[in-house]
A and B are shown apart, each in its own frame.
Chain A
Amino acid sequence: MRSLLKRYRELIFVVALLAIPFSVFFVKAKKAREMTFLDRAVVALIAPVERILTGIAFVGIDAWQSYLALRRVREENVALRRENLRASTTLQQAAELRLENERLRRLLDFEDKQSGLRLLVARIVAVGASPHSHTLRIARGSDDGIVKGSPVIAPEGVVGMVSQLTGSYADVQLIVAPLSYVPALSQRTRSRSTVHGTGDISRCKLEYALRNDDLHEGDVLVTAGAPNSFPPGLRLGHVTNVQRKPVGLFTAAEVIPAVDFSRLDEVAVIVQPAAKPPADGIAEAPAGATP
């Protein structure tokens, strides 16, 4: 037996190296990845280097852009003065509209559901290393209050969700990743559906849109909102390639994401605020206690 083992030790070693990772992948593929101590240690080694390299590159890019900007600054100055004049007019109108909006909100007793949320701006330090991955690495982690599943957004719309994190870094799974499902709402018709990633960085699949929904090419989709997920009303993208089938419950369509993921430098993570202490530091009286 021992001589047999010795004879085939290379074969056994290689087969074990194939079988163990495949078994773990097969069993755990659908579950979210839990980072082990080794994973954290390796990320702690790699991520700061990524951050430094990205930082150095950005300094160089900024310097070059500053030089180019200086060359154009004179003509831009004149244009900007004119624009400033127009902008200040618009600003005054906007301020007026804001006041009107506030008045109307009070009138409707509207509660801003996003007011309890905190936005944490995070710099992207790297993208998923593999050509097949759909992730971004940001320089914020659990130390900043981020948790697994925290929504990540950009000014243009939804970016994705935090899929794994260490103390200082987090990996964001983009909405185009095949494992991503986001409940969506058509801005025009308010009909519900689900935006499912396909693995293609430029488009997602629209699922569970009812066949009798009035879905049109170009319809804007926003997040429907769900507990511990994206707040409602964030832009996801617009509908394209609508295919109405003669039979079946649902309409097939594709979604062009609102965000160009290859052009992102910074994102914002939506963080749930910690539980507020009682007002004025006065402890709440225990149930049944008399004053």
Chain B
Amino acid sequence: MKLRIFLVVLVCMALAVLESVIPFLLHLRAARADLLLSVVLYLALHDDIVQGAALSAAAGYLSDLTSATPAFLYTFLAVLTFVVVRMAGSALKTEGGVQSAAIAFGASVIHSIVASMLFGFVLGVGFHLELAPLLWSAFGTALAAPFVFAILGRLDSGFPKAEGAVQGRIR
């Protein structure tokens, strides 16, 4: 399983690079896919709790580091997303495709709203949310989610399923 953890972290790093290079090269202002959020969703729907939460924290940490936002905002949000999606459990169970895109769209919208609220209130700059960039970003995340799910699904097919994976609740 250590190899799987290493490979998932490696995928996260590759996605973090893509997430920061592609919008720059394509001059994208708003439609920026949150690839690491898709990783967290995949982990919440397919991984066991301890490993999934830890890997979600790692994905969030990478997001934090490549965004230069206040420390650990996205780490916290990644674990929170993992927990919430995990609790929704079997209702959201998906192997990819359109379903994963729909889940990614919803998760991205909620993630952006919670991030803006936390950022605004904790930093004392007030709640500021632009609807158009939020929806564009969610759209980009939804488009990218099936690909991220496919990459991680392909990676997981080489490993036996972890005991306790996807039970839809935290014991």
A interface vs B, CB < 8 Å? Answer: 8-11, 13-14, 17-18, 20-22, 24-26, 28-30, 33, 39, 42-43, 45-46, 49-50, 53-54, 57, 124-133, 135-137, 163-164, 171, 173, 178-179, 198-202, 262-263
Find residues 124-154 in chain B having any chain A CB closer than 8 Å to their own CB.
124-125, 128, 130, 133, 137, 140
* Smallest CB separation, B166 vs chain A (Å): 14
* Contact segment of B16-24, B94-102, B155-163: B16-24
B130 touches A129 (CB 8 A): no
Bound Cα distance from A173 to B42, whole angstroms: 31
* Smallest CB separation, B167 vs chain A (Å): 10
Chain B residue with minimal CB distance to A203? B130
B20 touches A137 (CB 8 A): yes
A10-B50, A50-B21 in contact; A263/B27 too (CB < 8 A)? yes
B115 touches A132 (CB 8 A): yes
Chain B residue with minimal CB distance to A163? B68
Chain B residues within an 8 Å CB radius of A53: 17, 21
Chain A residue with minimal CB distance to B74? A130
Chain B residues within an 8 Å CB radius of A46: 13, 16-17, 62, 65-66
A130 touches B66 (CB 8 A): yes
Contact of B29 among A13, A178, A179, A262 (CB under 8 A): A262
Number of residues from B at the complex interface, CB < 8 A = 58
A46-B16, A262-B29 in contact; A130/B76 too (CB < 8 A)? no
Contact of B67 among A14, A21, A128, A179 (CB under 8 A): A128
Bound Cα distance from A126 to B60, whole angstroms: 18
* Smallest CB separation, A39 vs chain B (Å): 6
Chain A residue with minimal CB distance to B66? A129
Q: Is the interface of B mostly helix, strand, loop or mixed?
A: helix
A129 touches B123 (CB 8 A): no
Q: Which 10 A-B pairs have the closest CB atoms?
A: A133-B67, A129-B66, A126-B20, A21-B72, A130-B67, A21-B76, A131-B137, A21-B75, A171-B68, A135-B68
A14 touches B53 (CB 8 A): yes
Q: Which of A28, A33, A173, A201 has the most CB of B within 10 A?
A: A33
* Smallest CB separation, B141 vs chain A (Å): 8
B122 touches A26 (CB 8 A): yes
* Smallest CB separation, A196 vs chain B (Å): 8
A18-B76, A262-B29 in contact; A129/B53 too (CB < 8 A)? no
Bound Cα distance from A45 to B12, whole angstroms: 13
A21-B60, A133-B69 in contact; A14/B17 too (CB < 8 A)? no
Show 7 A/B contacts (Cβ-Cβ < 8 Å), sorted by A. A30-B124, A33-B68, A46-B62, A53-B21, A126-B24, A137-B20, A201-B29
